[in-house]
Each structure stands twice: as C-alpha cells, then as structure tokens.
Amino acid sequence: MPQPLIVSSQPWFMAGFLLFVCIGLALDLGLFSKNKPHVLGFKEALWRTVGWITCGLVFSVVIYYFHHDLHGLNTNFDYAQYKEKYQAGFALLNNPDATAHNFAIEVITQYITGYFIEYSLSIDNLFVMMLIFRSFRVEEKYQKNVLLWGVIGAVIMRFIFIFVGSALLIRFHWLMYVFGGILLYSGFKLLVNKEDDSEEFDVASHGVVKWASRIFPVSHAEHHGRFTLREQGKWMVTSLFLVLLVVEVTDLVFAVDSVPAILGITRDPYLVFFSNIFAIMGLRSLYFLLIHGLSGLHTLKYGLSIILIFVGFKMIFEHWFKSIGFNHFHNLIVLVSIIAVTVLFGLVIPDKKKA
C-alpha cells in the first residue's frame, strides 16, 4: 500500500527560514535602529531594495539543494507521489539523481516566476498604501509603526491563505476554475479601471472606518504613534489604529488576487509561501524608493492586469496549455516579458499626472 507523501522531513529548515524572516523583517523595519531617521534616503532605499531582491533570487540556490528534503523526497517513488499530488511536470528518469535534478530545476523556475508575480503585485499594493497614508494625513515618523504591523499581518494572512488554498486545490480540482475566474475578473477590472489612484479618498466615508467606528470607541486625541489610548478610565482606539485596519483589509483584498495567481504557477505550498514572503520582505525599503519618485512604474497596473488575465486563462485551460507543451520555462519567459515591456513603456511614455 502506497505511503502518504511526507509533508516535511526537515522541521529545522522551516524553523531556520522563519527565524531568518523575523530577523530580516526586524532589520528592514528598523527595529534595531531606533535612533536612525524614520525615512530612508533614496540611495539607502535603493541599495536595500537591491539587497532584498538579491536575497530573494539567491534563495533559489537553497531551493535547489534542499527543497526535496523539505518534502522528504529520496526515491523515484517519492518523486512520483509529489508529481501526482502537485501536478508537476518534471520527467521521472531511471536514475534518481537525474530525477532530483529535473525536480530541482522545475521548482526553482516556479519559485522565481512566483516571486516576480508577487513582487509586482506588492508594488501595486504599496501605491495603495501610500494613498492611505496621504488620505489619513499620517506623518512619516508614524508610518513605521503601521508598516511593521501591516507586514506582520500580511505574513500571517498569506500563510493561512497559501496552505489552505493549496490543500483545497489538491482536494477539489474544480476550484482551479473558481480561482481562474477570480483572476480574470480582477485583471479585466484593473485594466479598464480609469480611477485616478493618486487622488485621496474621503476617510470618514471609508467602509472599514465606518465599521470600526461602530465596533470600537475612537479617540480623536493626538495618537503620538500609539494604536490605543486611555481616556477617562476607558480604553479607546486612535486614528492610527483605523489606518492599520484599512491597510490590513487592503492587503487581504490583494491576497485574494496574489495567492490564486501564484497557485496558477505551482501548487506546492512551500514554493508559494517562500515567494510570497520574499516579496513582502523589503517592502519598507521599496516603499521609500517609491516615495522618492521611482519612474517607469505608472504603467505597471496594465502589466499586472495582463499577468492576472494570463494566469487566469492558464488555470481555466490548464489541460490545453499542457497539450501544446507549455511548461514552467514558458511561464517564466511570458511573465518576465510582460513586466519588462510594461516598465519599458513607463520609461519611454511620460506620466501625464506628474506633468
């Protein structure tokens, strides 16, 4: 009787990765540098962003050498189980070492593809976050607190979304069509959306603010970077807490798009998790890089919409794509090309809003 696929034979790997994530987030969010300025300069933000992107890409080497251990894969039988469970496309060969090499190349390609998708979507998320801070008039010195808890919330929500979503896809294959439909809807909506994302919104009329104001007593006193205050013997939430709620709900909405998008590339929950986490890490550096006026990204939403539509079609017509020999390398080429062309157009075509 076949033995069930081992979920993880190396708990130390995940423990070490999560420790690395905690230390990395603490460094990037400035938890060890309280005396430093709250705002990163352009050069520092640029070098930090380049550093985190490098870390994300270099992690593919770790995946090459250790990902099979994470799933407890040693024999061709183990790899065959993985291939069936996660609908992988690597070839099974008589030599287990050759099979392991094919497996490693495929998971690396899937990881890098997913990383590019998630990083691109995180940039769009940051544009929305900048709009939230501007609308709520959050001072730069207090944005660090919201970014810290916002990123922690994003990590937790994505961890839940990823492992639940992957488990559901394995159990109920028809959910591929549901996820594909979500991506098609999101992609077309983003493509035809003509709203000016640079305009501020009315804080008082925001749905999350209205809901929170009915649930929590809200203090109108100066928050001084705190989420709660005690007034007349009663604990109350501050306007900064409302900002955090709006940020978390916004990230939840983005997760509904981003997690299915990468599940369309790979159903391996670890690859999805790794690519998501590395896309989240370094968000503070990227945030300040965008604040300093990084050009060439005003056309990004069109590239993201095309990516979402492409992945949605791929999830719905998965069997057809496989029948024509479309594999993980083609995925990577298509998605990187879309991002590159989008940014190139952004550099060539001036931003009318700035003009």
pLDDT tens per residue, range 323-343:
887 877 788 888 888 878 887
Q: Provide the β-strand partners of residue 219.
A: none
pTM, entire model: 0.79
Q: What is the pLDDT of residue 175?
A: 79
Residue 252: half-sphere exposure toward Cβ, Cα within 13 Å? 9
* Of 130-144, 256-270, 281-295, 329-343, the least confident: 281-295
Categorize the per-residue pLDDT at 106 as very low, low, confident or very high, splitting at 50, 70 and 90: very high
The yes-or-no verdict on residue 154 having pLDDT over 50 is yes
Give the domain extent around 113: 11-348
Whether 242 has a pLDDT exceeding 80, the answer reads: yes
Residue 130 lies in a domain: yes
Which phi and psi (to 5°) does residue 284 adopt?
A: -65, -45
Residue 210's nearest CA partner among 202, 198, 220, 200 is 202
Quick one: pLDDT band at residue 8, thresholds 50, 70, 90? very low
Structure tokens at 119: 């990083």
The answer to whether residue 4 sits within a structural domain is: no
Provide φ and ψ at 40, rounded to 5°. Answer: -85, 140
In tens, the pLDDT along 48-63 reads 888 888 999 999 999 9
Give me the pLDDT at residue 125, please: 74
Taking 80 as the threshold, does the pLDDT of residue 37 lie above it? no
> Does the residue 149 lie in any domain?
yes
Question: What's the total number of domains in the chain?
Answer: 1
Query: What is the pLDDT averaged over residues 187-193?
Result: 78
Q: Is 292 part of a structural domain of the chain?
A: yes
Q: Is residue 3 part of a domain?
A: no
- 234 falls within a domain: yes
Mean pLDDT of all residues belonging to the chain = 79
Backbone angles phi and psi of 70, in degrees to 5: -60, -35
Long-range contact set of residues 220-225: C-beta below 8 Å, sequence gap at least 24: 223/142, 225/141, 225/142, 225/145
Answer whether residue 355 is part of any domain: no
> Exposure pattern of 47-77 as b/e (b: 16+ CB <10 Å)?
ebbeebbeebeebbeebbeebbebbbbeebe
Residue 179 lies in a domain: yes
